[in-house]
Structure 1
Amino acid sequence: MPQLISPDPRFRLSFLDAVREDVAEGEYFGDTLKRELAVHGDDWQEPDGFARYVAAVREEELEEGRRPEGFVPGSWFWYVDGDDYLGRIQIRHRLTPQLRDFGGHIGYGVRPTARRKGYATAMLRDVLPHARDLGLDRVLVTCDTTNIGSRKVIEANGGEFEDERGGKLRFWIRTGH
């Protein structure tokens, strides 16, 4: 049964397969995958290098952790089924003015061969308690105006439409009771 986990080096081969799928589709999880490929991509082929990447990703959630300039702390989760990496989701711990307009608290992506199976909806649902644990009573989730699939995922998780800004639809989701 698919589940959210903290990033784990044991999923290296499946993760790398997913990266190849994303690159072939021209999808880069915003610019995250481009940044990751530039910084870590050469190291991913070796288990030790991939373990360093996983450690760096996990460090991003710490207030004092290293992360790209201007980035806020963020908790990453991978969605896996057995040994298969299916996708990932991130909770940004707070909003900057840029995130308030365009990025929101949560970003997610499902590998191309795992799409249209309900995984994005389940990932978003399953990450909401983690957002609540971070003290977020509600989270902002955005999507492109043209991304009907993502809009349906957000709405299926209780997303309440606020407005459109710069080609992005903005929704608020309550994280629990």
Structure 2
Amino acid sequence: MTSDMPASSPISNDSLVLVRPHARYRKTYLEGFRELTNDAERTAWIYLGEAAPLDTLDGDFDAYVNTLLNREFERPPGFVCDTIYWGLVGDTVVGRIALRHELNEMLAMVGGHIGYIVRPSYRNTGMASAMLRAILDTDRARAVGRLLLTCDDGNAASERVIVRNGGIYESSVSPGSGRPAKRRFWIDVR
């Protein structure tokens, strides 16, 4: 098992760096979590799936970090392998971004290869664009080559992030079940 990037080697992009999850960032990671105001955002920040208990972070943080790191090589049931990074500015975790190595049926329709979230106090500061730009420059992204990114229809901020980083609009799809329509974009990094 080899990683695209060792945990100690940050990917630099202006004032933001991407790092692999590590227990040394526990305090700032939890501060970011506490800024989130709804369960959907908290679940996206934790990134263990919709069934993840929101008290996951109150337990063994080292075990939580190991679970995130192991997702690169071990496919949880119903998921695909992915590589997870935390965005740092100085010593502050400002967001989480994940690169899925492949797509399953659901991800091919509405989820895409990359998912990200920025903590509220750092939104509208260019952090999402910087995280996306940095992850697109990884060997793992180049190995995938053509990347699908999606955003909710009407999420103008996320759409700008995707387009600013080379996203080409393909289509909109409706996932049903009362969920918002998704706009689909492709970025080719080959």
Q: In structure 2, do the counterparts of structure 1 residues 121 and 24 end up closer, same or farther at CA, with 3 Å as the change threshold?
A: same
Query: 133-142 vs 69-78, which deviates more?
Result: 133-142
State the alpha-carbon separation in 2 of the partners of residues 165 and 112 from structure 1. Answer: 27
Equivalent residue in structure 2 for 1:112, among 117, 120, 125: 120
Q: In structure 2, do the counterparts of structure 1 residues 175 and 134 end up closer, same or farther at CA, with 3 Å as the change threshold?
A: closer
Residues 33 and 45, structure 2, Cα contact 8 Å, conserved in 1? no
Which of the pair is proportionally richer in helix? 1
Query: How far off its partner does 1:31 sit?
Result: 8.5
Equivalent residue in structure 1 for 2:182, among 157, 165, 168: 168
SS at match of 1:27: helix
State the alpha-carbon separation in 2 of the partners of residues 128 and 27 from structure 1. Answer: 23
Q: In structure 2, do the counterparts of structure 1 residues 39 and 25 end up closer, same or farther at CA, with 3 Å as the change threshold?
A: closer
Q: In structure 2, do the counterparts of structure 1 residues 24 and 102 end up closer, same or farther at CA, with 3 Å as the change threshold?
A: closer
- Map 1:20-169; keep pairs closer than 5 Å: 20-23=34-37, 27-28=41-42, 29=44, 32=47, 35-38=51-54, 40-43=56-59, 49-62=60-73, 65=74, 67=76, 69-130=77-138, 132=140, 135-166=143-174, 167-169=181-183
- Runs of 5+ in structure 1 lacking a partner? 44-48
- CA-atom RMSD, angstroms? 2.1
State the alpha-carbon separation in 1 of the partners of residues 108 and 78 from structure 2. Answer: 14
Which amino acid is 2:17 matched to? Q
State the alpha-carbon separation in 2 of the partners of residues 139 and 74 from structure 1. Answer: 13
TM-score (norm 2): 0.81
Query: How far off its partner does 1:79 sit?
Result: 0.2
Which amino acid is 1:146 matched to? G
Aligned length in residues:
168
Residues 75 and 93, structure 1, Cα contact 8 Å, conserved in 2? yes
Query: 34-43 vs 114-123, which deviates more?
Result: 34-43
SS at match of 1:87: strand
Residues 26 and 61, structure 2, Cα contact 8 Å, conserved in 1? yes
Which amino acid is 1:42 matched to? D
User: Any idea what the Cα deviations from partners look like across 1:26-68, whole Å, max 9, x if unmatched?
Assistant: 623288366444472331xxxxx11111111000010xx252x
Query: 7-16 vs 133-142, which deviates more?
Result: 133-142
Identity among equivalent positions (%) equals 38
Residues 93 and 134, structure 1, Cα contact 8 Å, conserved in 2? no
State the alpha-carbon separation in 2 of the partners of residues 41 and 30 from structure 1. Answer: 11
Query: 167-176 vs 33-42, which deviates more?
Result: 33-42
Residues 143 and 170, structure 1, Cα contact 8 Å, conserved in 2? yes
Query: How far off its partner does 1:132 sit?
Result: 4.6
